[in-house]
């Protein structure tokens, strides 16, 4: 078994898709150390030949792995070389889809990222909304939100909100459940009025304790007892108002965001 491998991501665009594909596969082999290299915007046969020569020189015959999302067959075929392990992210699936649809694909590099002005404007609007409605700001504008995230301090509300806005184009506000609300198991009327677009975010008390200790060591705010109490109060508040909630513990921002959208039956904005 290999203990280490060089990974090369080759793309005629940014390389993000090739990286995503490669990392989704290689993460299933945690016992192997991978060294990654990315070559974006490889669009001509000459560029492909020069890139392959560099890869073969760097790898010193150790059979590197190449992931590509190249559209041009002529450019792509350069990398299908005996001294590399070659993984094509598009060719088989694109050709099969073309057959199923009885249509000819564009084969335009980076077409995924060619957004219309309206789509770009919608994404910018979502980002601006997220920034303006972070940490309980402007609750009077919650009726314009796609998603409202509730949670105690350090439960992960802000990073998830930013991801939903920047990657999914969703206007996301977040509201902190402080002692003012937790002690009374109460929510502001602006949230109650928009309950159908509201979700709670929960974190294990142990995780909250660790995060808070790093910022405010030995404070009452960071005590394990405080964290346990706040989590319990938040859960009871969600149950009182019939607001769905999910756990952020041991989950990536992407996983949390997908679960929120599923819970609220929200599709990614096109």
Sheet containing strand 65-68, edge to edge, reads 33-39, 4-10, 65-68, 85-88
Report pLDDT for 269: 46
24-73, pLDDT tens digit by residue? 999 999 999 999 999 999 999 999 999 999 999 998 888 999 999 998 88
Cα dihedral across residues 138, 142, 146, 152: positive or negative: positive
Q: Which helix (H) or strand (E) holds 78?
A: helix 73-78
Q: Name the DSSP class of 90.
A: S
189-229, pLDDT tens digit by residue? 999 999 999 999 999 999 999 999 999 999 999 999 999 99
Residue labelled with tokens 């677009």 = 197
- Both structure tokens of 230: 């706040």
Q: How far apart are CA 221 and CA 180, in angstroms?
A: 14
Beta strand pairing status for 172-176 and 147-151?
parallel
Of 123, 122, 157, 118, which Cα lies nearest the Cα of 137? 157
Taking the CA atoms of the chain, what radius of gyration do you get in angstroms?
24
User: What is the CB neighbour count within 10 angstroms for residue 57?
Assistant: 9
User: Phi and psi dihedrals of 58, rounded to 5?
Assistant: -70, -35
Contacts of 259 by beta carbon, 8 Å cutoff, 6+ apart = 246, 251
Report pLDDT for 270: 41
Q: How far apart are CA 68 and CA 82, in angstroms?
A: 16
Q: How far apart are CA 252 and CA 267, in angstroms?
A: 19
Distance of CA 207 to the CA centre of its chain: 21
The torsion angle over the Cα atoms of residues 247, 189, 146 and 137, rounded to 10 degrees, is: -90
User: Mean pLDDT, the chain, as a whole number?
Assistant: 91
Beta pairing partners, 246: 201
Report the percentage of the chain scoring pLDDT > 90. Answer: 74
- Domains in the chain with CATH codes: 4-113 (3.40.50), 117-263 (3.40.50)
Overall average pLDDT of the 118-140 stretch: 90
Q: How far apart are CA 64 and CA 60, in angstroms?
A: 9
């Amino acid at each position: 078994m290999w203990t280490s491998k060089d990974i090369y991501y080759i793309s005629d665009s940014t390389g993000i898709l090739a990286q995503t594909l490669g990392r989704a596969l290689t993460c299933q082999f945690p016992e192997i150390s991978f060294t990654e290299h990315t070559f974006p915007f490889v669009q001509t046969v000459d560029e492909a030949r020069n890139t392959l020569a560099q890869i073969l020189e760097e790898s010193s015959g150790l059979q590197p792995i190449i992931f590509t999302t190249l559209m041009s067959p002529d450019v792509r075929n350069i990398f299908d070389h005996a001294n590399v392990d070659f993984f094509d992210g598009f060719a088989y699936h694109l050709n099969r889809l073309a057959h199923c649809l009885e249509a000819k694909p564009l084969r335009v590099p980076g077409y995924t990222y060619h957004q219309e002005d309206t789509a770009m404007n919608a994404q910018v609007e979502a980002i601006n909304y997220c920034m303006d409605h972070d940490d309980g700001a402007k609750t009077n504008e919650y009726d314009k939100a796609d998603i409202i995230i509730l949670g105690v301090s350090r439960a992960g509300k802000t990073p998830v909100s930013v991801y939903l806005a920047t990657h999914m184009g969703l206007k996301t506000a977040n509201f902190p459940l402080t002692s003012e609300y937790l002690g009374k198991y109460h929510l502001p009327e602006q949230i109650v009025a928009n309950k159908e677009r509201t979700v709670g975010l929960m974190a294990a008390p142990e995780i909250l304790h660790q995060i808070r200790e790093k910022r405010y060591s030995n404070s009452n705010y960071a005590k394990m007892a405080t964290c346990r109490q706040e989590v319990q109060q938040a859960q009871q508040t969600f149950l009182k108002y019939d607001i769905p909630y999910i756990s952020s513990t041991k989950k990536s921002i992407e996983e949390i965001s997908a679960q929120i959208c599923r819970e609220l039956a929200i599709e990614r904005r096109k």
